[in-house]
Amino acid sequence: MKLIDVGDVIGMSENVNTNKKYSVLPFGPQHPVLPEPIHLKFIVDEEKIIDVLPNLGYVHRGIERGCELNDYKRNIWLTERICGICNYIHGATYCAAIEKITDTEVPVRAKYLRTIWGELGRLQSHLLWLGLFADAIGFESLFMQIWRDREIVLTLNEKTNGHRIHLATNMIGGARKDIDDSLENEYKKDLNLLRKKMDALKPVFYKDSAIKQKCEGKGILSKNKARFLGATGPTIRGSGLKEDARLTGYEAYGQLDFKPVVYEGEDSYSRMLVRFDEVLQSIDLIEKAFDQMPEGPILNKNDKFPMGHTVIRTEQPRGEVFYYVEGNGTNKLTRCKIRTPTASNIPALINMLIGYEVSDIPTIVHSIDPCISCTERIVYVRRNE
């Protein structure tokens, strides 16, 4: 930590007294609380956070350029590796974009399968986050218990396609794998067990005074600020706004009577409860999808080259993911632009942190569920350099 003059830093908030020296507290890029390579420079007055300057770019991998160099079909595997946790939805979103500009009709059964696997990915992501959040606020036994329960979801992944994390079941025009009656029964049995385990943990998250003390009133993000700063996912729904790309009815969501989980608290505690409730909601959506899923083919091949451009929006566990895909009629794309939810939530995170104590940093930073590896599409430019 060192003292600086305010004039040495560009982007200071209105809370700064320009006649005073402040301390600089670095957070990351390697930090035991957040094993993600982001560097946040905190400007602090004793223990109070005055301003925050983010610095990204530690794991930029050139994926968008790679999408332009690859054969467009091979990009399915590339986009699925933008984020290990959100891998399935990345691949499904890319496939939806190619299907739209090649006029490929996806079979109804494949749409239900994509919905099931997308919610399965949301389950394992939220359970991973709930465990990490519990660990960050000092509940290590709760962390281990949730991650033990998460193994149920990873085992279902493995039963589906032999992989615990990467499903790799996406194909342009449908799905690579199907779910037979035997596997469907295993899904229902295992997810019912997971629901019982999560119901048993409800009192801890809803009533434990220590969790409330660490989370309630921390990282306030008002409705107006959430909308103005472009927040998305549980971050904006924890501020009372019903924003969810699944409401557009893509894949099978339009037939599942989907309603987003919303809390009005506008703080870290509300964002936590949104994710906890979405775990139970995802189980319900998967069961509904199985009950309504028709028989039929799962793949409709179309070998036309992409021509034109399109935008596709889907809902990842962290929020809305945006794909812009453009093709010129060859086997290679001319542009593939991807915006991930953490990139949208970082401005909101900066706003949440200002005015709180240094001890609140782990709780507030974790509350947006940051994934920096899939965020590396932007560059933070310091104007004085």
| Residue 361 is assigned to a structural domain of this protein | no
| Residue 176 is assigned to a structural domain of this protein | yes
Joined together, the tokens standing for residue 217 give 């009133």
| Residue 298 is assigned to a structural domain of this protein | yes
- Asked if 159 and 287 touch (Cβ cutoff 8 Å), the reply is no
Distance, C-alpha 269 to centroid of its chain: 18
Query: Over the Cα atoms of the chain, what is R_g?
Result: 22
- Distance separating alpha carbons of residues 155 and 132, to the nearest angstrom: 20
pTM for this structure? 0.90
Residue 40: predicted pLDDT: 85
Choose among 366, 318, 272: nearest CA to 34.
Answer: 366
Q: What is the residue range of 84's domain?
A: 63-343
| Residue 20 is assigned to a structural domain of this protein | no
- Distance separating alpha carbons of residues 359 and 352, to the nearest angstrom: 14
- Distance separating alpha carbons of residues 238 and 232, to the nearest angstrom: 10
- Distance separating alpha carbons of residues 81 and 197, to the nearest angstrom: 30
Burial category of 84 from C-beta neighbours within 10 Å (exposed 0-12, middle 13-18, buried 19 and up): middle
Secondary structure class of 289 (helix, strand, coil)? helix
Residue 18: predicted pLDDT: 59
- Asked if 325 and 94 touch (Cβ cutoff 8 Å), the reply is yes
Q: Listing from the earlier edge strand, what are the strands of the sheet with 2-5? A: 2-5, 21-27, 39-45, 48-55
- Distance separating alpha carbons of residues 306 and 96, to the nearest angstrom: 12
Residue 100: predicted pLDDT: 96
| Residue 278 is assigned to a structural domain of this protein | yes
| Residue 357 is assigned to a structural domain of this protein | no
Secondary structure class of 319 (helix, strand, coil)? strand
- Asked if 141 and 332 touch (Cβ cutoff 8 Å), the reply is no
246: CB partners within 8 A, 6+ apart: 253, 258, 260, 314, 315
- Asked if 221 and 231 touch (Cβ cutoff 8 Å), the reply is yes
Tell me how crowded residue 55 is: count the other CB atoms within 10 A of its CB: 16
Residue 322: predicted pLDDT: 93
Residue 1: predicted pLDDT: 35
CA atoms within 13 A on the CB side of 369: 31
Residue 219 DSSP code: S
Residue 15: predicted pLDDT: 61
> CATH code at 139?
1.10.645.10
| Residue 310 is assigned to a structural domain of this protein | yes
Residue 11: predicted pLDDT: 45
Per-residue pLDDT of the chain (385 residues; tens, 9 = 90+): 333 343 444 444 556 565 667 788 888 777 666 667 778 888 888 889 998 988 877 777 788 888 999 999 999 999 998 888 889 999 999 999 999 999 999 999 999 999 999 999 999 999 999 999 998 888 999 999 999 999 999 999 999 999 898 888 999 999 999 999 999 999 999 999 999 999 999 999 999 999 999 999 999 999 999 999 999 999 999 999 999 999 999 999 999 999 999 999 999 999 999 999 999 999 999 999 999 999 999 999 888 999 999 999 999 999 999 999 999 999 999 999 999 999 899 999 999 999 999 989 889 999 999 888 777 654 444 555 4
| Residue 79 is assigned to a structural domain of this protein | yes
Query: How many domains does one find in the chain?
Result: 1
Q: How far, CA to CA in Å, does 343 sit from each of 57, 104, 109, 207, 377? A: 12, 30, 33, 32, 8
- Asked if 51 and 12 touch (Cβ cutoff 8 Å), the reply is yes
